[in-house]
Structure 1
Amino acid sequence: MSSRRKFLKTTVLGSVLAGTFSGVANGAVRRKKGKGQKPVVISTWRNGIQANEEAWKTLISGGRALDAVERGVMVVEADPKDRSVGYGGRPDRDGNVTLDACIMDEHSNCGSVACLQNIMHPISVARKVMEETPHVMLVGEGAYKFARSQGFKKENLLTPESEKQWKDWLKKSNYKPVINIENHDTIGMLALDANGNISGSCTTSGAAWKLPGRVGDSPLIGAGLFVDNEVGGAVATGLGEAVIRTAATTITVEMMRQGHSPAQAAKLAIERIMRVHKNHPDMPNLQVGILALNKDGEYGGHSVRSGFNFSVCNSDGNRLEDAKFRLKWN
């Protein structure tokens, strides 16, 4: 009887473990339907599909989330066809491509660069700031000199296509961003690795035709990106000034700390942004999207207006999903 009881107990336990961890052979842990999964990587916009594909290579091999979020966004930074991030990005009104980026790991270590020129991968410079200096952020000429001292090459990031667009813009010099086209000027990424640790990255060439020296939310920890490994992480995209005014990603993470799901937390942060900007001149054309991921591998996104989508990659595949929104464009 004892042997039979032991056999049944072992068989049941084995079945439970097999169901819980189906997919381990493929490097991913499947949970029950409706629950989160790990590893998982999510990123803003359609350009996140190719970024996720690269990040997934690190995650599926048991690698660290920090490495995944760096390598993932580097793909987009180096893509000259993407006019909103890195090489090929639209310049400021003086014709200079200036880049902003930040990165944050599971230990709350973070690094950031802003107004960086002539360096292909600002996300990697941001990581060097985090790991090789006592600082969090370097900007402008100081960031460039630091990057060069770390072995980064000087490269011309203004492509002929972006230069032509800039020269066409100069004819009227009318600064009026087109939401969900020009203003998805960011790729933000969050990853949860097999060890249950979260890291995030955010990189951009900023708003096209901006005033020289303008910095948005993307390189600012707590605005464009925030990670708390006890809870989860969040990234933002859209009008950076609105994200900065509300510390949007910090709010999102704190909402998750209070027990809200990532989708609910993103919604609450978006509603806060809308209340703050109710009577603000930016409101008629305001768009902000927030993406969130928690420690269970659950994710969600929300935006002020329709049009914000995001990319998700886990054991179910790599796909694009539409975020819920508060307002619809007329």
Structure 2
Amino acid sequence: MTNRRDFLKTAAMASVAAALPSFTGKPEEENNLEGKGNKPIVLSTWNFGVQANGAAWEVLKNNGRALDAVEAGVKIPEGDPKERSVGYGGRPDRDGRVTLDACIMDEYANIGSVACLEYIKHPISVARAVMEKTPHVMLVGDGALQFALSQGFVKENLLVEESEKEWKEWLKTSQYKPIANIENHDTIGMIALDSHGNLSGACTTSGMAFKMHGRVGDSPIIGAGLYVDNEIGAATATGHGEEVIRIAGCHLVVELMRQGKSPQKACEEAVSRIVKLTKLRNKNLKDIQVGFIALNKKGEFGAYCVQGGFNFAVNDASGNRLIDADYFLK
């Protein structure tokens, strides 16, 4: 699998978002792109979303449920030790512990979430078990682990050799300064519309590398890192979770679509809120990256981010492709 860090280094930071060849020839403002009513369809964040979409598409193309598709899809990077910001192989916190966060939401507004979960390779499946087998919507820390073990999940070491080496190197300075678009704070968020017209979403991450133990970002928080309203649409986010939480980002995107905005315009408005608050707090916008992707009930989609470098994958009947998202900071 292509390393996302290498991909982003070669991406043209000043370029306007451009779709792959299946969209060649469309006006520049459409390149980002607002899909025109495709169903079924699945979107996911970052270039590892291409392979994840492939697994989700196997469910969707056979008239499967969007919920099953998004779980199957995000399990691909969760289980890949080469992906350093999701699941097995994720970078540890400053104490050397790999802690995982995930949430899932279906078309009936059923939700499940886990945070600060250790030793379990697929937190998204634990989140689904929380949703389906408990009266709660979120379990955290040791409680989440004990629940996972009670459900038959296997406890295993998630700290791979390469991540451990990076952590030990980091300990020499112990400087915590997340860098935009570097592979230390990324997430896979996935949203899908199935052939029955139903939406679901999933979001999973190992969080920021070398974070304080116990830190939780937006990814497991319904309304921040993920939100689904089966009447309207769905959205998911990636990047600096604190900034997404600050505006309840994905709920905001969906509510903007409820007001009549396209998925693209809704993502743009959410980013503008982050930009405004960042300036209000006298923070440097260049130090922040947040990206949103959104999908409405019609199968139209859009994406937008604070600064260049964020891409997302789209899979529908016309194929599976990677698109560079448009961005604010140019």
> What TM-score do you get using the length of structure 2 for normalisation?
0.88
Aligned to 1:118: 119
Segments of structure 2 that go 5 or more residues without pairing to the other structure are: 1-33
How do 1:49-88 and structure 2 match up within 5 A?
49-88=50-89
Aligned: 1:297 with 2:299: yes
Number of positions where the alignment pairs a residue of Structure 1 with one of Structure 2: 296
How do 1:2-17 and structure 2 match up within 5 A?
none
Aligned to 2:157: 156
User: Offset of 1:282 from its aligned partner?
Assistant: 5.5
Amino acid at match of 2:309: G
How do 1:1-330 and structure 2 match up within 5 A?
35-280=36-281, 281=283, 283-328=285-330
After superposition, the C-alpha distances for 1:34-84 in whole angstroms (9 at most, x for unaligned) are 622000000000010110000000000000000000000001100000000
**What is the rounded CA distance, in whole Å, between the counterparts of 1:156 and 1:102 in structure 2?**
21
**Which structure's relative contact order is higher, taking Cα pairs within 8 Å and 6+ residues apart?**
2
After superposition, the C-alpha distances for 1:289-326 in whole angstroms (9 at most, x for unaligned) are 00000001111100011111000000110010011100
1:90–1:209 Cα contact (<8 Å) kept: yes
1:100–1:215 Cα contact (<8 Å) kept: yes
**What is the rounded CA distance, in whole Å, between the counterparts of 2:119 and 2:186 in structure 1?**
18
After superposition, the C-alpha distances for 1:247-306 in whole angstroms (9 at most, x for unaligned) are 010110011001111011100111011111113336340110000000011111000111
**What is the rounded CA distance, in whole Å, between the counterparts of 2:322 and 2:43 in structure 1?**
10
- Of structures 1 and 2, the larger Rg is shown by 1
Deviates more, 1:274-283 or 1:304-313: 274-283
Aligned to 1:276, the other structure's residue is in SS state helix
Segments of structure 1 that go 5 or more residues without pairing to the other structure are: 1-32
User: Offset of 1:112 from its aligned partner?
Assistant: 0.1
User: Offset of 1:178 from its aligned partner?
Assistant: 1.8
Compute the RMSD of aligned alpha carbons: 1.1
1:224–1:235 Cα contact (<8 Å) kept: yes
**What is the rounded CA distance, in whole Å, between the counterparts of 2:272 and 2:55 in structure 1?**
33
Amino acid at match of 1:98: T
Aligned to 1:86, the other structure's residue is in SS state coil
**What is the rounded CA distance, in whole Å, between the counterparts of 2:320 and 2:141 in structure 1?**
36
Identity of aligned residues (%): 65
Aligned to 2:279, the other structure's residue is in SS state coil
1:183 to 1:254, Cα distance in 2 relative to 1, 3 A: farther
**What is the rounded CA distance, in whole Å, between the counterparts of 2:174 and 2:36 in structure 1?**
49
